[in-house]
Structure 1
Amino acid sequence: MQTLHVDLGDRSYPIYIGKSLIEQPELLLKHISGKQVLVVTNETVAPLYLAKVRQSLQGLQYSEVILPDGEQHKTLTVLATIYDQLLKDKHNRSTTLIALGGGVVGDMTGYAAASYQRGVNFIQIPTTLLSQVDSSVGGKTGVNHPLGKNMIGAFHQPQCVIADTHTLMTLPDRELSAGIAEVIKYGLICDAEFYQWLDENASALLARDESVLAEAIYRSCLNKAQVVAEDEKESGIRAILNLGHTFGHAIETAQGYGNWLHGEAVAAGMVLAIKLSAQLGWVQQSDVDSLERMLRAVNLPITPPAMSQQQFLELMMVDKKVLDGQLRLVLLERIGKAIVTGDITIDDVKKVLANAGVPA
């Protein structure tokens, strides 16, 4: 097992990375201070791992909620079922919520924890690659709205993150590839050496080599933990973690949540971001080519779906990085160095979309 720490003062917490960690009750129990727990999972993960977690929690006042699976269910209506169970079972402020699942489960459980009785503890047990390297770390929680992704939420840090690499053995191939998109992102934004390592180990990641997966998760979490420690509430540098996401969230919203997986939309969004960076003269065409090659190698899309430029622009303006009507994007000065800039015109965006085959 490897352990990392997210350094946030009195909100600091460990990330545990290793094989079969769900079967080590002591990891979980030492981060539960009260006598009440509520496990939130979904219909896909529950048959696989819920019994193991439930067994670890014997002796505590135990509740569970099993949500429908899929991004389309990341709504306020479904979120209310978590509150319903907490209230029905009379959970108090000393309760701990446990998120057992992917990013949707983690985001919704975290937001329920942030808002129930104005804030209770929660623990992340992410079971997808995307949630292990990204959404479980950093305290971003929330739900989607029909007009915009993750526009309703709160910052609320977990007590710990338990990333069991063995859960990735049951992950569908498409979900595994979607998670690799976020892994590649870390190399692009702040770790050129890691980006090169990923280029050399892409096939091993797809083959689910557990030692390679563990290293990819460790390096991704290390990079994210450093950024989050510097800027917890995304007032500055943390925004670089959203490379490709402004384009990607527009794709997800336009296509209907769940039709394109988050990682797939981010992959296509990162290609648009690096092409815009090349258009501005910041990176080379060879950098664009290398990213497209790597994404293809892990079965990720490099072109956006059928959308118009107008759709892209309207949805991109409903983005948390937009300030006073000014679109801000995360772009690359070079591989391993991202910046957030507002010095991008609508014409710049239209040009890169047009060059990617997006009609006006």
Structure 2
Amino acid sequence: MSMRDQAVVVGASGIVGQAVLRAFAETPGWDAVGVSRRLPVNVPLHARHVSVDLTDRDACASVFGAMKDATHLVYAAVNEKPGLVAGWVDRDQMQLNLGMLRNVLEPLQANARGLRHVTLMQGGKAYGIHLDPNLAVPARERWPRHPHDNFYWLQEDYLRERQPHSGWHWTVLRPRLVFGDGLGSNMNPLPAIGVYAALQKARGLPLCYPGGPPRVYQAVDADLIGRACVWAARSIEARNEIFNLANGDEFVWQNVWPVIADAFGMAVGEPQQQHLAETMPPLEAQWAKIVGQHGLQAPPRFREFVGQGFAYADFQLNTGKTGPQPPSLVSTIKIRKAGFTDCMDTEDMLRRWIQRYQELRWLPPRDG
């Protein structure tokens, strides 16, 4: 049996899972195994990948039943229905996401020789942010559950029921708006904004803010989530606890828009509100042309590059809303007091990831 800890990262092709897989693979003392239906864009050098459909119970029993050396599980997979936002209150989707977790944990727990920790991802929807924007701020982990149906509760209760006498502990992380390098991720706004910027630039137009009224938000760098998962895996203070997670500062889209425009090598134009989910799809052929002209490695089809990111960007940018919007903030004091004090400047994060997309040739070069 391996003397090293082994982290199994489920959902490894997603924006969070890919960063978590990278974090464990780069941390001494860890073996990292990524699991997802699609191959991650960049599998770390010291990690391996296993492909499986999490909705296939028999396939999962075979794959996870063979992972005898697994010591830690990070579950970052999620199934989203077309239209994205409507699916967040769909009961069938909630049960599907619960079933996927069961398909992973049950064979893993039955066959792994020393499973010690499970990390589960939630998010701001735990506080009902998607249903009621007027929640008190900052939202805290100790609050009673917001009274709405959510697959978060189904998955969390499932862990709580299985955990006693199991030999493992759990941690729930609730990241804010995530930025990272996943392709085709349904909840990554950066490819959507990048495509919009590239199309504007190709037509000689400035980068106009397409969203609605201002709102104070928080974001989190995907790599910071990865480091938080490595910390939670071995921290006594993280056992059976829920933690909000964010960069550590706040931002307003309109205020960081000049930073985004500069990273793309563009001027800022006058705001032009539009639903990207409606205006971008008809321009797919123009995007494919940009991909060819610049020799990009990005998929020419929006489905493979953006996923449902246009709809997600519209939601985050408050497109279609009017009047002042209340702040959307959570407290991150609990995780800091528990020992995870990492942070990130959100403007620096935006520049870093846009530059990274340009280096990977997923987006045209800044000066191109």
TM-score (norm: length of structure 2): 0.30
Q: Highest relative contact order (Cα 8 Å, sep 6+), 1 or 2?
A: 2
Higher helix share: 1
